Structure 1
Amino acid sequence: MGMSVTIDTATGEDAEQILKLQYLCYQPEAELYGDYTIEPLTQTLADLRAEVADTCVLVARLGAEVVGSVRGRVDDDGTANIGRLIVHPRMQRHGLGGRLLAAIEARLAAERDAARYRLFTGHRSAGNLRLYRRLGYAPVGVEEVSRHLSLVTLEKDVPASLAASA
């Protein structure tokens, strides 16, 4: 039984599983902020397929099942924007989110010359904020989106060891 989780590049064939997992994982966020119109819950399969073709998207697999995913793209100034870090609820609290984040960071530094990483989360998303801080991210700004939601932007520089290997 003891299958291990592998992390690999997503393909267009993974898009449907990613979208279903994304929908599942963002329900608690929508409930927390009282907003079920957030973009992760309204994204279409066609949009996600285009994103998979266009950006760096990684998936975590347990056998054939996608149990986690993360996306990133690097701007012209070397900033890697990382988003949509999701892990199936039954797989949470086992380090998979950290593994996915480390994998996308390494990939974006090595293949796309990232100089710094940036991500954001809602101000009430305590678990996300704890994870990101533990992994070296520091808050650099807060943007009020609505009365109920402020987005906290966090960043960290690419470690010299990763930048040197790029």
Structure 2
Amino acid sequence: MGMSVTISAANDQDAEQILKLQYLCYQSEAELYGDYSIEPLTQTLDSLRTELAAGHALVARLGEEVVASVRGSVDEAGTVRLGKLIVHPRMQRHGLGGRLLNAIEEHYATRFAAKRFQLFTGHRSEGNLRLYRSHGYAQVGTEQSGPRLTIVTLEKEAPAGAYAPQA
């Protein structure tokens, strides 16, 4: 009998599992760009706990194991900055990233009346770009972050009125 993946708010007790998952998930990004000093691979547990306390994070669990996560924060203008959408490699390509993205967008749209959602990824991260575009995000800018990395910023407007998650 298989277990279902459940999505819920992250808590401080999840921090260590999130950090380990983040380290695992960002290995492929580091390899893609030839840079193992990227922030997700150097973030400390204390830094992650501070980040979790300052914003909102969701985790997806398979039993007790955290298999995916996403974080967000909202500014005074109503822009929600989403980040570190991570899915365990064995759980990828099954719609879990999209479910987490929908869930965190819904959280901010209903509780904080978000005006727009913004996120970023590297220019070579085709899977990430494909996922974000399929969820309505469009490129709004690029920034050279080093000799091998261009950061692509994507954005979408929050739905007016009641939030209706995408299918």
Query: Per the shorter chain, which TM-score range?
Result: over 0.9
The aligned residue for residue 2 of structure 2 is: 2
Query: Any idea what SS the aligned residue of 1:160 has?
Result: coil
The aligned residue for residue 152 of structure 2 is: 152
Distance 1:97 1:127 in 2: 11
The aligned residue for residue 100 of structure 2 is: 100
The number of equivalent residue pairs is 164
Q: How far apart are 1:5 and its partner, in Å?
A: 0.4
Q: What is the RMSD of the two structures over their aligned residues, measured on CA atoms?
A: 1.2
Aligned counterparts, 1:1-166, within 5 A = 1-162=1-162
TM-score scaled by structure 1?
A: 0.96
Distance 1:96 1:105 in 2: 14
Q: How far apart are 1:113 and its partner, in Å?
A: 2.1
Name the one with the larger helix percent.
1
Is the CA contact (8 Å cut-off) linking 1:106 and 1:162 kept in structure 2? no
What residue ranges of structure 2 are gaps of 5+ in the alignment? Answer: none
Query: Any idea what SS the aligned residue of 2:90 has?
Result: helix
TM-score scaled by structure 2?
A: 0.95
Q: How far apart are 1:151 and its partner, in Å?
A: 0.4
Distance 2:132 2:161 in 1: 20
Task: Spell out structure 1 runs of 4+ moving beyond 4 A.
Answer: none
Q: Identity percentage over the alignment?
A: 68
Task: For residues 80-105 of structure 1, give each alpha carbon's deviation from its aligned partner in whole angstroms, at most 9, with x where no partner exists.
Answer: 00000000000000000000000000
Q: How far apart are 1:49 and its partner, in Å?
A: 1.1
What residue ranges of structure 1 are gaps of 5+ in the alignment? Answer: none
Is the CA contact (8 Å cut-off) linking 2:82 and 2:119 kept in structure 1? yes
